[in-house]
Amino acid sequence: MPCASTGLTFERMNASAHEARWWRPLANGKLLCTLCPRLCEIPEGKAGFCFIRKNVTGRLQSLGYGKSTGFAVDPVEKKPLNHFLPGTMVLSFGTAGCNLGCKFCQNWDISKARIDERRSEEGSPDQIVGLALRSGCSGIAYTYNDPVIWAEYAIDIAAAAREAGLKNVFVSAGYVTAEARPEIYRYMDATNIDLKGFTEDFYRHVTLSHLEPVRETLAWLRHESNVWLEITTLLIPGRNDSDREITEECEWIVSALGPDVPVHFTAFHPDFKMTDLPRTPAATLRRAREIARRCGVRYCYVGNVHDAEGQTTFCPSCGSALIQRDWHAILSYRLDGDRCPDCRSVIPGVFHAGDHSADSWRTGGGRWRVSLH
């Protein structure tokens, strides 16, 4: 399949660099990248903050196009998505670089790397779709580093995946402009947005970005797209885990997005520039979940810990346990289509048709690496 933006085949594109979308030349001779709210002004021969969008002789090039830093088959619960085809596997990959500067980055070996510093595997959209199908995946996840910065590649793969009957999952911090959002999400079926905290101070100093554009993306996804949305907040001890901040986040989610958007609170481990802090205690995650429930969030989960209750989907009407999980594994599945089998309430999400309670597709929760070649 030729590239949607250039019309070139993958082989032709690789012969030359891949031209980016969402930029324009400025009077000062630099290029303005309008893909994310950072709005980098990029001089000749230089790359933007994310490392992988570069001004090459007056045209913006997407250096990450066609270059993955490795493929894995993951449970969809690892994205995390708990209300999107539970128990299925998704082919997952990323490239290099990132448009945020999180001091706690849990994937910093790829997010802080330049594309030429990482061993990458070259793959066309059709090759990646073929790998997903051969691996028995329900879809493809654009993940590990933020796919916003390699959106041209993600869009081309997603278009080919949809044609082949696969789903597309976009795992992002949601730091993207209103100009680029509709194109990026055109072929996406589900997304998990990493809402990194709920104060501008935290966003500014710990992630080197801003909160408001992320809230705008969340509202757009919920109200102006058909993409299934879940939210994750990594709770960092002493930085974004106060009762007040969690309460404000959850109150905003319920009022701006509604009570049915699943919220995941996950545990931080010391990494990158934040190795002086302890791991998030399980009690902090339980506290956050309690606050969320008090604020009216109907589906709140905890992650990166073992917590049977905090990882179970309960019917908000009758309280029945519908999907029981342990970490990323599904232990029991009682949904009948999208309904509670006991009180027949509809559970929001994208679920398998009919009664799957005895099916063998339940995942053990593991992951494995795969390769194109």
Q: Which residues bind ligand SF4 (CB under 6 A)?
A: 33, 35-36, 38-40, 48-50, 53, 99, 149
End-to-end CA distance of the chain: give it in Å, rounded.
19
Q: Cβ closer to ligand SF4: 26 or 39?
A: 39
Taking the least distance from each CB to ligand SF4, the nearer of 205 and 344 is 205
Helix (H, G, I), strand (E, B) or coil at 97: coil
The residue type found at 45 is: G
Tell me the closest approach of the beta carbon of residue 30 to ligand SF4, in angstroms: 11
Smallest separation (angstroms) from ligand SF4 to the CB of 305: 33
Where are the extended beta strands (E) located within the chain?
23-25, 31-33, 41-42, 53-56, 59-62, 67-68, 71-75, 89-93, 121-122, 139-142, 167-172, 190-194, 228-235, 263-267, 300-303, 313-314, 321-326, 329-333, 368-370
Strand partners, 67: 122
Smaller CB distance to ligand SF4: residue 61 or 124?
Answer: 61
Quickly count: other Cβ atoms within 10 Å of residue 364's Cβ.
10
Nearest CA to 60 out of 145, 152, 131, 128 is that of: 152
Nearest residue (CB) to ligand SF4, 50 versus 340: 50
For residue 149, the minimal CB distance to ligand SF4 (Å) is 5
Between 31 and 300, name the residue whose CB sits nearer to ligand SF4. 31
Residue 40 Cβ, how far from ligand SF4 at the closest point, in Å? 3
CB of 16 to ligand SF4, least distance (A): 20
Judged by beta carbon, residue 39 or residue 308, the one nearer ligand SF4 is 39
Nearer Cβ to ligand SF4 (40/295): 40
CB of 141 to ligand SF4, least distance (A): 20
CB of 36 to ligand SF4, least distance (A): 3
Tokens of 98: 């990132």
Beta pairing class for 59-62 and 53-56: antiparallel
How far does CA 278 lie from the centroid of its chain? 25
Comparing every residue's Cβ against ligand SF4, the nearest one is: 48
For residue 175, how many C-alpha atoms fall within 13 Å in the half-sphere facing its CB?
Answer: 25
Question: Which one, of 180, 179, 206, lies nearest residue 194 by Cα?
Answer: 206
Pair of tokens at residue 258: 């509604």
